[in-house]
Chains A and B, each alone.
Chain A
Amino acid sequence: MTTVASTAAGLPTGGAPHLSHLDVLESEAVHILREVAGEFENPVILFSGGKDSIVMLHLALKAFTPAPVPFALLHVDTGHNFPEVLEYRDRVVAEHGLRLHVASVQDYIDRGVLKERPDGTRNPLQTLPLTEKIQSERFDAVFGGGRRDEEKARAKERVFSLRDEFSQWDPRRQRPELWQLYNGRHAPGEHVRVFPLSNWTELDVWQYIAREDIELPGIYFAHEREVFRRSGMWLTAGEWGGPKESETVEKRLVRYRTVGDMSCTGAVDSDATTLDAVITEIAASRLTERGATRADDKMSEAAMEDRKREGYF
């Protein structure tokens, strides 16, 4: 516990000790996780192996301790994953005795249901496997690690966000969210996306990872990697389709600020090999994490909104 003014034994007169900002965020996220456990039949945690979903899982472990997490995990596997992230995912699942569902983009491509895009990015292709898995498994609440500080369409997102039977988001018909009285009612076929980290910023997430000493996949820390330049970003060379003939591979010291599909997630030049160094680097950065590392968000001014409307997380 990280209260600062005093411990429980020395409760000062006139009020409670001041909770740190991470204590407040943690307590709020736990409240949201427990509301879902109390109100829904079949919730699932979207888990990408990225830092936000890792923090969300850590919070779920704390929220129900000493009982196990009452939710399964769902990974949308683009087929273009970083191997370190898949290894991390499987290790975490085994360590905590969790159930893992996988929705595979590659399966959809192999079956001819989805078509590879000319630009090779598979991020937009995730929506169909995700929404079909939600329907077939009858998940009624789907936790996402999305934060409102990430992007201006996400800034409009409710904590409990209703999706219709086609998993669509209609930002103009969102339920007012009053006090902390979250309304999880939904008709059969509909589900609710739930965002326990809504009020966290990127810096909060990193400070919390440092405070709780949470392990992350190694790609978040500076390491030497073969990369090439495309659309102003360093992309990892690999079997997914890069580099093209006109692009040259070079070895650079880089790290990732976000984890996503390899075809559209860029690395940043960095020598930050420790948590403290990463936090110092982020605090000084003049770029948002998405601006620095996501090609797909740059496609249009409303790229995120358009994908979210269709059911993307």
Chain B
Amino acid sequence: MSVLSDTTVDTLCFATAGSVDDGKSTLVGRLLHDSKSVLTDQLEAVERASASRGAAVPDLALLTDGLRAEREQGITIDVAYRYFATARRRFILADTPGHVQYTRNMVTGASTAELTVILVDARNGVVEQTRRHTAIAALLRVPHVVLAVNKMDLAGYEESVFAAIAEEFTAYATGLGVPEVTAIPISALAGDNVVEPSAHMDWYGGPTVLEHLETVPVGQDPATRAARLPVQYVIRPRTAEHPDYRGYAGRIVAGTFRVGDDVTVLPSGRTTRISGIDLLGEPVDAAWPTQSVTVLLQDDVDVSRGDLIVPSTAAPPLTQDVTATVCHVADAPLTVGHRVLLKHGTRTVKAIVKDIPSRLTLDDLSSHPHPGRLVANDIGWVRLRTAEPLPLDAYEDSRRTGSFILIAPDDGTTLTAGMVGGFG
């Protein structure tokens, strides 16, 4: 990778997940360390801190456990974002906590990830947290799932141990609709199959974790889907130089917009034509995800923040009745009758929880009918009625225009992550 120039090397956003003490932070530390992404002063700080705790070898988990409470307790509390690069790819890593009470942070990491690494302790195999994390990755439609069977050094590097766990996990994940599982036997502590191939597991012929991260295909290519532009802000200079400029600023989440395209503004349904597209000051003929642009329209139609500009030939349906799969992320429960705010794209509307038809039991994937409420970390199915019609895509078609959050009107707490559509 050239250091001087802008590069076309692509970026993989990925998340780690796993139960407490499965060694996530150690894996992340090992990835950073062995890919030579840790600088001298960071390593010295870890060595100092490890020595002062009486540890014989540097504890790589201290590279990522950045909060005082995390180091005191030796667990990861909150998602942390790490950045590293190899010659082949740039990586944004969401290092997420394993503890049940912080599951919402795993949801946070998974919502923007294209790949999730789920760690399992080779001695314990698939446990409840493994199932929970796999279900979240499946519901959030993370395209790639990696099962890292860790602590193989403590399981005698036995192929049969790995094979049994990989088989059980793959069956569970496939049942949830995960399209692709890659299983890798590792020891994060000893460095087996993380960056360097292991000398202890001749029976394994697959990639190391880093090799897989470097080569997995990224980008579902939202450019080929129907175009979507949520309007963030209206740019009106009203200066002598630009007395009549009126541009609709936003970030394209799907599809391609071209000058001359016939478009519809939702929810009003008014139609017009794109007369110009400005890419941060430069006029262009076309724009695509994930560019931030300013669109100029031929007619003086009423467009404001919260509207969605779409091709007239491929508009999503408008609805005030939303059916969604949700992950509840707040401490206070979500109950039937609850009045909330719903943020979808750039639009925030009032909504009411009409019904909670079921809650998912992660152990056996059975559904618990009419639970009445969802508490923190629950996954369920919800029906909402909104005060205004929303242009909704199904989450399975679009992670951007098919997602929303629920917000408490009183104190602004983020309550719930929502994905349009039922269990699928």
Assess the A176–B407 pair: CB atoms within 8 A. no
- Separation of A261 and B4 alpha carbons in the complex (Å): 29
In the assembly, what is the distance between CA of A34 and CA of B346, in Å? 10
- Output the nearest chain A residue to B49 by Cβ-Cβ distance: A301
A203 vs B105: C-alpha distance in the bound complex, in angstroms? 28
Q: How far is the CB of B240 from chain A (nearest CB, A)?
A: 11
Counting CB contacts under 8 A, is B160 at the interface? no
Query: A17, A180, A286: which contacts B40 (Cβ < 8 A)?
Result: A286
Q: Which of chain A's residues have a CB closer than 8 A to the CB of B5?
A: 207, 211
Contact B282 A1 (CB under 8 A): yes
Cβ of A67 under 8 Å from chain B: yes
**A199 and B329 contact, Cβ closer than 8 Å, known pairs A17-B288, A291-B41:** no
Give min CB distance, A159 to chain B, whole Å: 10
Q: By the criterion CB–CB under 8 Å, are B71 and A201 in contact?
A: no
B299 in contact (CB, < 8 A): no
| Known contacts A14-B224, A22-B6; is-contact A66 B239 (Cβ 8 Å) | yes
- Minimum CB distance partner of B40 in chain A: A286
Give complex CA distance A37, B236 in Å: 13
Does A299 make an interface contact (CB < 8 A)? no
A21 to B90, CA, bound (A): 9
Q: How far is the CA of A302 from the CA of B45 in the complex (A)?
A: 11
| Assembly CA distance A193 to B78 (angstroms) | 18
Question: Which residues on the B side are within 8 Å of A90 (C-beta)?
Answer: none
The answer to whether A279 and B233 touch (CB under 8 A), given A181-B405, A302-B68, is: no
How distant is the Cα of A176 from the Cα of B112 in the complex, in angstroms? 12
Contact A301 to B45, CB < 8 A, known contacts A8-B284, A287-B39: yes
What is the CB-to-nearest-CB distance from A163 to chain B, in angstroms, rounded to a whole number?
12
A46 CA to B83 CA in the complex, in Å? 24
Stretch at the interface among B183-191, B200-208, B411-419: B411-419
In the assembled complex, which residues on chain B have CB atoms less than 8 Å from the CB atom of A211?
5-6
Contacts of B45 in A (CB 8 A): 291, 301
Query: Is B288 a contact partner of A178 (Cβ separation < 8 A)?
Result: no
Which residue of A is nearest B290, CB measured? Answer: A27
A62 touches B221 (CB 8 A): no
Docked-complex contact A176 and B256, CB < 8 angstroms:
no
- Mask: chain B, 260-291; 1 = CB below 8 Å from A; 0 = not: 00000000000000000011111011111111
CB-contacts of A56-78 with B (<8 A): 62-68
Answer whether residue A15 sits at the interface, using C-beta atoms and an 8 A cutoff.
Answer: yes
Also in contact, A301 and B71, with CB within 8 A (given A20-B7, A183-B343)? yes
B-contact bits for A147-170, CB 8 A (1 contact / 0 none): 011011101100000100000000
The residues of B that contact A14 with a CB separation of less than 8 Å are 221, 224
The contact of A34 among B8, B71, B233, by CB within 8 Å, is B233
A155, A286, A291: most-surrounded residue (chain B CB, <10 A) = A155
CB 8 Å contact bits of B53-86 with A (1 = contact, 0 = none):
0000000000111111101000001111111000
Q: Does B354 touch A at the CB level, under 8 Å? A: no
Report whether B288 and A280 are in contact in the complex, using a CB–CB cutoff of 8 Å.
Answer: no
Of listed B104, B232, B237, B245, residue having the most chain A CB within 10 A: B232
Distance in angstroms between the alpha carbons of A176 and B241 in the assembled complex: 43
**A91 interface hit (Cβ, 8 Å):** no
CB < 8 Å A-B pair total: 223
A292 and B42 CA atoms in complex are apart in Å by 11
| B238-258 to A contact mask, C-beta < 8 Å, 1/0 | 110110010001110000101
Q: Are A286 and B232 neighbours in the complex by a CB distance under 8 Å?
A: no
CA distance A1 to B404 in the complex (A): 31
Is the CB of B9 closer than 8 A to any CB of chain A? yes
Neighbour of A178 across the interface among B63, B107, B232, B412, CB < 8 A: B107
Once bound together, how far apart are the Cα atoms of A186 and B409, in whole Å?
Answer: 10
Assembly CA distance A4 to B92 (angstroms):
22
> What chain B residues lie within 8 Å of A15 (beta carbons)?
221, 223-224
Instruction: Report which of B40, B69, B280 forms a contact with A287, defined as CB distance below 8 A.
Output: B40
Q: Is the CB of B282 within 8 A of A24?
A: no
A171: Cβ under 8 A from any B Cβ = yes
Given known A-B contacts A152-B66, A176-B105, A288 and B42 have beta carbons under 8 A apart: yes
Q: Is the CB of A176 within 8 A of B329?
A: yes
A287: chain B residues at CB < 8 Å are 39-41
Q: Which residue of A lies closest to B81 (CB)?
A: A148
- The answer to whether B67 and A171 have CB atoms under 8 Å apart is yes
Q: Interface code B397-424, partner A: CB below 8 Å = 1, 0 otherwise?
A: 0011001110100011110010000000
Residue of B nearest to A18 (CB): B8
> Which residues from chain A contact B11 at a C-beta distance below 8 Å?
21, 24
Residues of B close to A180: CB separation below 8 A: 112, 251, 400
Given contacts A4-B8, A19-B290, A35-B232, contact A66 B241 (CB under 8 A): yes
Which residues of chain B (279-331) have a CB below 8 Å from chain A? 279-282, 284-292, 305, 329
Question: With the chains together, A7 CA to B20 CA distance in Å?
Answer: 48
Nearest-neighbour CB distance to chain A for B372, whole angstroms, equals 23
Q: Which residues from chain B sit less than 8 Å from chain A, CB to CB?
A: 3-11, 39-42, 45, 49, 63-69, 71, 77-83, 90, 92, 104-105, 107-108, 111-112, 221, 223-224, 232-233, 235-239, 241-242, 245, 249-251, 256, 258, 278-282, 284-292, 305, 329, 341, 343-344, 346, 399-400, 403-405, 407, 411-414, 417
10 contacts between A and B (CB under 8 A): A19-B290, A22-B6, A65-B280, A66-B239, A67-B245, A148-B83, A156-B78, A276-B4, A283-B3, A301-B49
Q: With A8-B286, A28-B290 given, can you name 17 additional A-B contacts, CB distance below 8 Å?
A: A14-B224, A16-B223, A23-B6, A62-B281, A63-B249, A66-B242, A148-B80, A179-B400, A179-B405, A181-B403, A199-B83, A207-B5, A286-B40, A287-B41, A291-B41, A301-B68, A305-B67
